[in-house]
Structure formats: structure tokens, C-alpha cells
Chains A and B, each alone.
Chain A
Amino acid sequence: MASSTAEIRRKGRRAQPAAIRLAHWINIPLLVIMAGSGLQILAAYPALGPRGALYRWYPFQNDAPPSWLRIGGWLAGARHWHFAIAWFLILNGVLYLIYMAASGEWRRRIFIPRRDTSNALAMFGYYLRVRKTPPPEDFYNGLQRLAYTSAIAFGVVVVLSGLAIYKPVQLYWITAAFGGYDFARVVHLSCLVLLAMFTATHLVLVALHPRTIAAMLTGGQRG
């Protein structure tokens, strides 16, 4: 596995190639608009479960998200934003995934359980202070790979569950795959929460390692 990383290094690739930097920064306004307009839409019916059979396990039934987190002003406005911007988010995501696959970048970024699990656990132990030294890392450590790969997975699921609740009749097979309309809505909202948690953690960690921000802006050093 070290050889594949070395192979990438031999090509003199930057830590953050231009395509990845572009996709990363374009994603930020898109995700902000999607999250804000999504919460405005949620505010119209801030409950989970079908009418007459709300899910009992959800503790925040009828609690609307705070208005300062919402974008679009009202339901109709938020829907226009949400459905228009969604396609740009999908386009950005698809181009990113195509680049990852075609360039081989996925090898040093995607979490491969056989390769990365023990490293991720060791890194987790280091964060918990049960290990004195961090495990060796090539480009990313196992925990980073797990976090970034999870974020990609959340992105894929948020898009699919979004399509499921956008067109539950025309795209019924997607809706059925999520267990029906109301459960797809739960998955859609859960992905938002998970992406928000990822983003919060991501912001703290890059603030602690400012060099990573520079690399995401300029590309960083050639390997």
C-alpha cells in the first residue's frame, strides 16, 4: 500500500490537486444553501412520521429549527432554492467522484478497512490519550480516511434520500429503498445532522493544523 502512495508521489502530485480544491470550495456555499433552505422546508412540518402516526422515538416533534439557521424566507422560496441548487451539488459531487476514480486519488483518501482499521483505532487511542504517540501516517492517517470517506457517504445518501422525498411517485424505487416516504425524510434529516457534525469536527481539526488550510488553498507541496 505504501507503494501506491509512493507511485502518486513519483508523479509529483500536489497534496491537494486543483480539481479537489475546486470541488471542496464550491461545495461550501452549495451545502450552506442546501442546509439553510432544507431547514426552512422542515419548519413547515417539523415533525417526523406520517400524520396520525408520528414516530415515538423522535424527541423533537414539532420543534422548528431556529429562524437564523433558515434560508429562503418562507416555504415556497426555500423550495425553489433547494431544488435548483441541489443539481449543482450533485454535479459537483459526481465530477469529484469521477476525478477521484480516474486519477487514482481515491487510493490515498478512501478508507479501506483492511488497510486502515488498525491505524484508525491507534489514532483514536492517541486522541483519547491512551496512546502516547500517533501511529505512522502516509498522507492521511486511518481516522482521517474514515472521516472523509464517511462524509462522502453522507453526501451520496443525502442526495438519494432527497430524491426519494422529492418524487416519491415518479422515483418510487428510490423511496421504497429507504423504507417509504416518511422514513426517507428521517434519513435525509439524519444526513444533515451527520454532515453538520463532520463539518464541526473538521473545522476544529483544521484550525489546529493550519497548514492543511494552506494546502487546500494553494495545493501544498509537490510530493
Chain B
Amino acid sequence: MGRWNERVDRLLFSPRRLAAEVPASELTPDAAFPSYFISDTMPFPPADWTLKVGGLVARPSVFSLEQLKRMPQTGMRIRHHCVEGWSAVAEWRGVQLREIARLVGASQDAQYVEFRSFDSDYFSSWDIESSLHPQTILAYGMNGRALYPDHGAPLRLYSPVKLGYKSVKYLTEVNFLPQRTGGYWEDQGYDWYAGV
């Protein structure tokens, strides 16, 4: 049943379809935008935080937040869709994952991308098409400010083309892989593809 659903989900995904920008009047107040982490207490990044990018790449790399912020910036104000059924609107800023893939020289054989975090063992993995979607970004800004700690500071994955739980917060690693790994919720039975 899950496999059939995923096939349909994949079929409906268009790598070029952009999620619509939402007017500022529909922004969700910060306090009303839900957030969660799986650790017992709010995860805070280590002082020497960096993002490791590896796997099937020509140039395995480590990026500091400052380096990421110097890369071409993408911003979008879009609607977030949670698996539970609610929606909320925020403005996100960051660097496109496709830009990172280009910088590190991701291999054609990397059909999947895995995202790891410092929120205990929270992780997820994506198909390459959704990962390289122009609105799939590594976000360091939200609603005109630096990303808040409860929304995944200093860096989180964000994209309108997947359900919320696929957008891993508190990023530590991005790995381009030939096979898919699961995910925190996915391994418990939630859909792996989770397109929107």
C-alpha cells in the first residue's frame, strides 16, 4: 500500500513546479507557528558548528555558517504543510541545495540525499529530484531574522515540495548517496516520499 502510494506521489511531482508566493498579510505570527524537537531539551549548536557535505561528491567539504551566508541567497514566503493537516506561512532565506550540490560536485550516481542533525538522532533522506528543486534550500533566516533555535538554528533544510517532517532542522551533515536511507518518522511508518 505504501509502495503504491509512493509511486503515485513521485508521478505527481514536477521538478519545475514552484510553490506560490504568499502575500505578507497571511504570515503566521511567530508564536503560532508550531515547532518541535525530539531531544529532551532544546538542542543548541556547538560553538564550532559546521556543515559537513559528503558522500558521492568530487570535493567533500565543510562549510561554516559565514561561508553559507556568502553564497547566492534565495528567499521565499510560502505556505508550510504539516502531515497533521495544518498549514502556516513563513518567509525563509538560505542557499539552494542545488548550489551546494554544484559546489561539491555531486555525482550522477547520487540519487538520494541524506540530512543529519544534532537533534538526537533525527534525520531524513530525500530523492535527488526534490533535493535539487529550486525552492529546496538550506535556511539560516526566517521572517527577516536569523533562524530561531526552536526552528532549527543555525541551519535547517526547508522546502515547500515536502511535508514538514522532511525538512530536517539543526543540520550537521548532508550526504549525497546512491541508496536511500530512512528517516526518524519514516522508519516509524510515515511516508518516505511525502510530496506536497
Contact = CB atoms under 8 A, between A and B. Distances in A.
A45 B160 CA distance: 20
B12 A52 contact: no
Interface string B1-27: 110110010001110010110000010
Interface string A170-212: 1110000000011001000000000000000000000000000
Given A79-B191, A168-B196, A171-B12, A52 B88 contact: yes
B11 to A, nearest CB: 10
Contacts of B82: 45
Nearest to A171: B12
A107 interface: no
Nearest to B13: A170
B161 interface: yes
B144 interface: no
The SS class assigned to the B binding surface is: loop
Task: Please tell me the size bucket of the interface on A.
Answer: 20 to 34
B33 interface: yes
A52 B26 CA distance: 10
A24 interface: no
Interface residues of B, number: 37
A181 B5 contact: no
- 3 closest residue pairs by CB, A with B: A52-B32, A51-B88, A45-B85
Interface of B: 1-2, 4-5, 8, 12-14, 17, 19-20, 26, 28-29, 31-34, 79, 81-89, 160-161, 185, 188-191, 195-196
Interface of A: 41-42, 44-45, 47, 50-53, 74-77, 79-81, 83-84, 87, 165, 167-172, 181-182, 185
23 contacts: A41-B85, A42-B85, A44-B85, A47-B86, A50-B88, A51-B32, A51-B34, A76-B190, A76-B191, A77-B189, A79-B191, A80-B2, A80-B189, A80-B191, A84-B1, A167-B195, A167-B196, A168-B87, A169-B196, A170-B13, A170-B17, A170-B195, A185-B85
